[in-house]
Amino acid sequence: MVIKPYGFAIWEKMQAEIDRMFKATGHSNAYFPLFIPKSYLSKEASHVQGFAKECAVVTHYRLVDDPNGGGVVVDPNAKLEEELIVRPTSETVIWSTYKKWIQSYRDLPILLNQWANVVRWEMRTRIFLRTAEFLWQEGHTAHATEEEAVAETVQMMNVYADFAENYMAVPVIKGTKSESERFAGAVDTYCIEALMQDGKALQAGTSHFLGQNFAKAFDVKYLSKENKEELVWGTSWGVSTRLMGALIMAHSDDNGLVLPPKLAPIQVVIVPIYKGDEQFAAVTAEANKIKAALEAVGVSVKYDNRDTYKPGFKFADWELKGVPVRLALGARDLENGTVEMARRDVEDRKAAKKVVPLTDVVAEVQATLEDMQNSIYQKALSFRQEKTTKVDTYEEFKQVLDEKGGFVLAHWDGTTETEEKIKEETKATIRCIPLDAEAEAGKCIYSGEASTQRVLFARAY
């Protein structure tokens, strides 16, 4: 997957905000190796089982000229003593390091994050959502007590939810994964689930309580205040460039991207309308004043003075890129002391426009950007509410999935067997067991066995 400059600028905005949130909660960034000795991955049984099918393995370290003239070939004499895994995730290499770093309770907690690329050999790729290599962050923490580790796991899920809702303008449901959907090697997986415009669910972020599984596998112990040797408790958590996919699928329309202002690399574009050099010079002078005034209050602005394209092309180009606010400024506007403003989140192009006095442009733009951030979120929330259905029978469950899609709240008996049967027959999975679900006695839609609460089903990416 190649991420072009404009797309990478969006990822950088995401990265900057998430990184700020991590540091505000006491985390530091570090970096660990890309190549992981195969023996490390083998130490935690359920972890290796979970990732075995997706691992890319390095077996040799040199190429040589083909004696038969076929270019270059792998040197058979350059076989590695131990094969290396290209990291699919970093728990194993990090916990092998923590063993060296942790001796006493004074060394805890360790609160680290790394920004990195990972490789998972996917059979079916889908841009941004499921690619062989992707960018992400992965947090890995070590704690003296179970309570601390659980609190960390929940805190990071809440950080992700805060980012998704307040920056991406994507409403999410917080919950825990069923046993079969948990991260390989975790005791519990907390997640945030989002709904896309096609009615499919997207897992937008996960936070894992690892218990002492990796501490046992890598023999990571510490000396407590009571002078007793104890195993360390762990967590890991991550979000990836999948968030780019979420941003596109949650908000965009047939004209292109619709970006929430907080994540738009360019928040305002100014397009000049002119005839001849004299008008262009006058419009440019005013545009530069507007640009400077907006930048002074923290708004990112692009003045599109390309003379190789007409205004109509520029309007469509920036609309496609999802720039939140467009200002069109011409000679007539200068005479009237006004500028035409259009907002990207309103599909009716006529309704999206308004004329604004030049003296009010900064205040108007600021107010519009704030309103857009909120209205984009509200639109997505209304869509999710409309596409969330409670069902009490399996027939109703299948009908809703086929005809309406979206989230389906239904009773489940808690068994993996039932979960697998439903998945097999409908392609719907349990997205999460919602944390805010009310206790409610009922019967499993599939088996008819007793259930204490509804869980969230959906077809997903």
In 177-280, at which residue ranges do the beta strands (DSSP E only) sit?
188-195, 201-211, 221-223, 229-231, 233-240, 268-273
Residue range 69-92, pLDDT digits in tens: 889 999 999 999 999 999 999 999
DSSP string, 22-52: HHHTT-EE----SEEEHHHHTTSHHHHHHHG
Fold exhibited by the domain 5-251: BirA Bifunctional Protein; domain 2 (3.30.930)
Position 49 scores a pLDDT of 87
For 313-331, write each residue's pLDDT tens digit. Answer: 999 999 999 999 999 999 9
Torsion of CA 356, 357, 358, 359, to 10 degrees: -130
Neighbours of 359 (CB within 10 A): 10
CA–CA gap between residue 391 and residue 408 (Å, rounded): 7
**56 — alpha (psi -120 to 50), left (phi > 0) or beta?**
beta
- The model's pLDDT over 217-257, given as tens digits with 9 standing for 90+, comes to 999 999 999 999 999 999 999 999 999 999 999 999 999 99
- What DSSP character marks residue 439? P
- pLDDT one-digit tens code per residue, 90-131: 999 999 999 999 999 999 999 999 999 999 998 888 999 999
Q: Is 358 exposed, middle or buried (0-12, 13-18, 19+ CB in 10 A)?
A: middle
CATH C-level class of 388-458: alpha beta
- The model's pTM: 0.96
CATH 3.10.440.10 at 261-371, yes or no: no
Residue 204 corresponds to which tokens in the numbers above?
């937008």
Q: Which sequence spans correspond to the domains of the chain?
A: 5-251, 261-371, 388-458
Residue 243 · residue 254 · CB < 8 Å: no
Q: Is 363 helix (H, G, I), strand (E, B) or coil?
A: helix
Closest CA to 143 of 182, 102, 94, 184: 102
Fold equal for 5-251 and 388-458 = no
